[in-house]
Amino acid sequence: MKKSVLITGAAGFLGSHLCDRFIEEGFRVIGMDNLITGDIRNIEHLFALKDFEFYHHDVTTFVHVPGKLDYILHFASPASPIDYLKIPIQTLKVGSLGTHNLLGLARVKNARILIASTSEVYGDPLVHPQSEDYYGNVSTIGPRGVYDEAKRFQESITMAYHRYHGLETRIARIFNTYGPRMRLNDGRVIPAFIGQVLRGENLTVFGDGSQTRSFCYVDDQIEGLYRLLMSDYVEPVNIGTPEEIAIIDFAKEIIKLTDANQKIIYKPLPQDDPLQRRPDITRAREILGWKPKVSREEGMRKTYEYFKSLSKEELFKSAHKDFSNHNR
């Protein structure tokens, strides 16, 4: 029998790419999403396949999947500042109640579970680059705390299930990832900048643009996640690129890539916006044999072509969204 995998958040950016990868690997794939932030169009190409099925379901309620499960990947969560500032309670619930439900399901099914944590557990880091043994600098009551603390709790309960119940668990700390199927209006820097270029607007940089980010192309991210799931390592692993760039320099790269004539304008830096973000990927290299391969130039070219293919209706609808946190 084919091995089975449940992927929550299946209609989201990373979730949909994971569905594709596991289908390619010969798995029976069960996707689950409540579609609050996911887009069913990301996975509709899979609906005709006999090895794919989809449940429209909220994992913060009881989760039941008939039959055997070999693996669970928990990717259900708002992931952009615009989303989790708009739906903070749901963000906290999916990281706590949702994770609890899926750990329970994994225990019943005797399945290995990988949970999608985030570089946000490091907060505005005082250590650079961030390695997995750094505990972070997070404001529990700040506006970003709903996401940061949901993910930190998610890691804690996952390790508790591993230690107390002997459950096979994996924890991926995902750094900024980009590529096709990102939402144009999700508020993060790459879709925000590209959307502004395509609409003929000036590019908005928050603060003086000296804050840094590192951007991992989605194909590399999916490879890292797959290797982590199939490994024997139970502690958190950073998956991201160590290549760091200042936001102001990145804005200039976008203008050069797109031959845009727009200017760069500046606005105040949002509260708790991290000033530096770059992973130490020593653990991923040594344990998983993984490192990113796609250059930022190549990845951005593919991403730009994807956004150019979107309809004008989608493009201009995104102009009315709040991009005040897009330097994430």
Structure tokens given for 37: 């932030």
Q: Identify the pLDDT of residue 234.
A: 98
Q: What is the DSSP string of 59-106?
A: TTS-----S--SEEEE--S--SHHHHHHSHHHHHHIIIIIHHHHHHHH
The CA distance from 182 to 195, in Å, is 11
Q: Identify the pLDDT of residue 272.
A: 62
Into which CATH architecture does domain 4-176+217-239 fall?
Answer: 3-Layer(aba) Sandwich (3.40)
Percent of the chain with pLDDT over 90: 82
Instruction: Give the max Cα distance, the chain.
Output: 58
- Greatest mean pLDDT among 106-110, 308-312, 320-324 lies in 106-110
Q: Identify the pLDDT of residue 328.
A: 46
Residues of the chain by 3-state class (helix, strand, coil), percent to 5: 40, 20, 40
Is the pLDDT assigned to residue 203 strictly greater than 60? yes
Cβ atoms 12, 36 nearer than 8 A: no
> Quick check: is 147 catalytic?
yes
| For the chain, domain boundaries | 4-176+217-239, 180-214+243-277+294-320
The CA distance from 314 to 316, in Å, is 6
Give CATH for domain 180-214+243-277+294-320. Answer: 3.90.25.10
Out of 71, 84, 122, 147, the active site residue is 147
Cβ atoms 157, 277 nearer than 8 A: no
User: What is the reported pTM?
Assistant: 0.93
- Where residue 318 falls among pLDDT bands split at 50, 70, 90? low
Token look-up 């804050």 returns 211
What tens digit of pLDDT does each residue of 148-171 get? 999 999 999 999 999 999 999 999
Cβ atoms 138, 149 nearer than 8 A: yes
- Where residue 186 falls among pLDDT bands split at 50, 70, 90? confident
Strands 216-217 and 177-178: parallel
Q: Identify the pLDDT of residue 323.
A: 41
Closest CA to 113 of 29, 18, 6: 6
The CA distance from 22 to 232, in Å, is 19
Q: Which amino acid is at 296?
A: R
